[in-house]
Amino acid sequence: MIPIRDEIKPRRFPLVNTLLILANVAVFAWQWLAGAGPGGSQLYQFAFIPSNFLAAPTDLGNLRNIFTAMFMHAGLLHLAGNMLYLWIFGDNVEDAWGHVGYLLFYLAGGVTATLAHVFTNPTSVIPTVGASGAIAAVLGAYLVLYPQSRVLTFIPIGYFMTLKLIPAAIVLGVWFILQFFNGVLSLGGPDVGGTAFWAHIGGFLAGVLLALLFGKRRNNRQQRRWS
């Protein structure tokens, strides 16, 4: 299933979400212009590496890389997939929490996702890049804030393709189940790189928890203000 758009229109322009997308695209362009593709020296300088972080968790470079890695991507498809999900779901979460609140939430989700990856892959020397963990937090928050929303979804079935409006709970629930299933399969396996499934899981759960603690109350205040 590939989401195309949701049916909830934000009440104001999603400034932070748009800037986050533009920042990710700009950093990706810089990566390739600067030779920061797979194996490039720039990748190792600014990507997050779990074993390096645990060896020196207070090192400023390692702390910096938690954030710089959130804006780097391993390829065009990696970038496009992440930005599609951020574009569809991020605007509504920003609408609920406001520009500053959304930015802080996005960064906190990315940090939590990174720490979840460290916890499950403490000896990994593979550079980790991507906005997936922070975006997973956005998905988790969206599920809590807009449980009745529906998402126009592209569904390829064999030789047939169709577009259907599907409840967001199903779209995001299936996404999370796939991440969890693959994450469990990856536990105890060799360090061969690939997808940081536990970063996705950690980010999603952080988004759900933060939305349950703070999101609905703020969303209700916003709705009263705009009504």
- pLDDT tens for 26-63 read 999 988 887 655 555 667 789 999 999 999 999 999 99
Domain ranges of the chain: 2-226
Q: Could you report the per-residue pLDDT of 104-162, keeping only the tens digit for each?
A: 999 999 999 999 999 999 988 888 999 999 999 999 999 999 988 999 999 877 666 78
Q: Could you report the per-residue pLDDT of 161-214, keeping only the tens digit for each?
A: 788 899 999 999 999 999 999 888 877 654 445 688 999 999 999 999 999 988
- Phi first, then psi: what are they for 151, rounded to 5°? -125, 125
Calculate the average pLDDT of the chain.
87
pTM for the model: 0.89
Neighbouring CB atoms inside 10 A of 104's CB total 14
Which pLDDT belongs to residue 191? 47
Listing DSSP states for 119-182 in one string gives: HH-TT--S-B--SHHHHHHHHHHHHHH-TT-EEEEEEEETTEEEEEEEEHHHHHHHHHHHHHHH
Helix residue ranges per DSSP H, 56-122: 60-68, 76-97, 99-120
What does CATH list as the number for 2-226? 1.20.1540.10
The torsion of the CA quartet 190, 196, 200, 206, rounded to 10 degrees, works out to 80
Q: How far apart are CA 222 and CA 154, in angstroms?
A: 31
The torsion of the CA quartet 51, 55, 56, 57, rounded to 10 degrees, works out to 60
Q: Could you report the per-residue pLDDT of 59-110, keeping only the tens digit for each?
A: 999 999 999 999 999 889 999 999 999 999 999 999 999 999 999 999 999 9
Query: Which amino acid, one-letter code, is at 167?
Result: P
Q: How far is CA 216 from the centre of its chain?
A: 20
